[in-house]
Amino acid sequence: SYNFDTLLLETDENGIAVLTVNRPDKLNALNNTVLDELEKAVKKIEKDEDIRAVVVTGAGEKAFVAGADIKELNTLNKKQGEKQSVRGQKVFFALENCSKPVIAVVNGYALGGGAELAMACHIRIAEENAVFGLPEVGLGLIPGYGGTQRLPQLVGKSKAMELILTGGQMKAEEALSTGLASQVVPQGAGVEKARELASKMLKNGPVALSKAIASVNTGFRVKGFSDEAELFGELCETEDFKEGTTAFLEKRKANFQGR
């Protein structure tokens, strides 16, 4: 096992690693430390020959990951906003392009950056209490870690638009029926199910698995990611963004003025 402040990475005797985002007090929100450590963890996973598949999940009973850390977002300007978006996208691309199967176990809230993290994984298993959503518009923002690209890829444009523009939530069963999740399991049973699924995969040729992942991913590589980052940056200049993120931190409703 490796040492991180905000992640746990543990590998079992079958070569299945469990990578847990571990900030349960903040519902595992992705701050800069988590992003940095995720990047390091993916590099280690890629290099470590004892690791053959990865399960990504969140610590605690409430959340997979409740999003980017809104406290850190609140102060970003246009340039920093775009840069931060590109940075997170890069970490998530590394995960998506991992040569070993990556299975997300969504064990609670997967909101904003958390839903985007789950979508960057190869497969999503939802526990019954999973809640998916891209609530960014409620903060005067848009998804910035690939959500505007990956959600339409997974569920189609119409459902994706509905979820993104309402900032609404999708529960486990709906995630299953729209294709966002591939399975629903009882609360607490996700990691075991993921291990079972990974074990089936690992009976196959590892080189074939890595080429299959690369080949599937190739078809989904689109230009929109850089536009998303640019648009995210533009929003960081608006009063609505300042109001939306400040309102969250002050635990009140946002009052948007449309500028």
By CB under 6 A, name the binding residues for ligand CO8: 26-27, 29, 66-71, 73, 84-85, 88, 109, 111-113, 135-136, 139, 143-145, 232
Work out whether the CA dihedral 5, 104, 87, 139 comes out positive or negative.
negative
Identify residue 96 by its one-letter amino acid code. Answer: E
Q: Which is nearer to ligand CO8, 145 or 225 (CB)?
A: 145
Cβ(229)–Cβ(144) under 8 Å? yes
Q: CA–CA separation, 183 vs 37, rounded Å?
A: 28
H-type alpha helices, the chain: 32-47, 70-73, 78-96, 113-120, 147-155, 157-166, 172-178, 190-201, 206-218, 224-235, 239-249
Q: Which is nearer to ligand CO8, 4 or 109 (CB)?
A: 109
Q: Out of 82, 136, 174, 228, which one is annotated catalytic? A: 136
Under DSSP, is residue 68 helix (H, G, I), strand (E, B) or coil?
strand
Q: CA–CA separation, 211 vs 216, rounded Å?
A: 9
Q: CA–CA separation, 65 vs 29, rounded Å?
A: 6
Q: How far is the CB of 186 from ligand CO8 (least distance, A)?
A: 21
Q: Which is nearer to ligand CO8, 53 or 106 (CB)?
A: 106
- Name the residue number minimizing CB distance to ligand CO8: 112
For the question of residue 234 being annotated catalytic, the response is: no
Structure tokens at 164: 């993104």
Q: CA–CA separation, 117 vs 45, rounded Å?
A: 16
Q: Which is nearer to ligand CO8, 29 or 51 (CB)?
A: 29
Q: Out of 116, 127, 174, 228, which one is annotated catalytic? A: 116
Q: Which is nearer to ligand CO8, 202 or 254 (CB)?
A: 254
C-alpha neighbours within 13 Å on the C-beta side of residue 15? 18
Structure tokens at 250: 């002050």
Catalytic residues: 116, 136
